[in-house]
Amino acid sequence: MLNLRKLILVAIDGSPESDKAAEEAVRLALGNDSKFKSKIYALLVLPNAPPTTFTDFVPAPPITETREWEERRQRIFYVIEKNAREAELPLETLVVYGDPADELINFAEKQKIDVIVIGSSGKGFLKRKLVGSVSHRVVEQAKCSVYVVRG
Helix (H, G, I), strand (E, B) or coil at 101: helix
Q: How far apart are CA 103 and CA 37, in angstroms?
A: 25
Q: pTM for the whole thing?
A: 0.83
Domain ranges of the chain: 7-49+57-149
Fill in the amino acid letter for 30: L
* pLDDT, mean over the chain: 83
Structure confidence by residue, pLDDT tens digits, 35-82? 778 999 999 998 876 555 555 566 666 666 677 878 888 999 999 999
Q: Are strands 91-97 and 115-119 parallel, antiparallel or unpaired?
A: unpaired
Structure confidence by residue, pLDDT tens digits, 104-122? 999 999 999 999 999 986 5
**Three state DSSP letters for 31-62:** CCCCCCCCEEEEEEEECCCCCCCCCCCCCCCC
The fold of 7-49+57-149 is Rossmann fold (3.40.50)
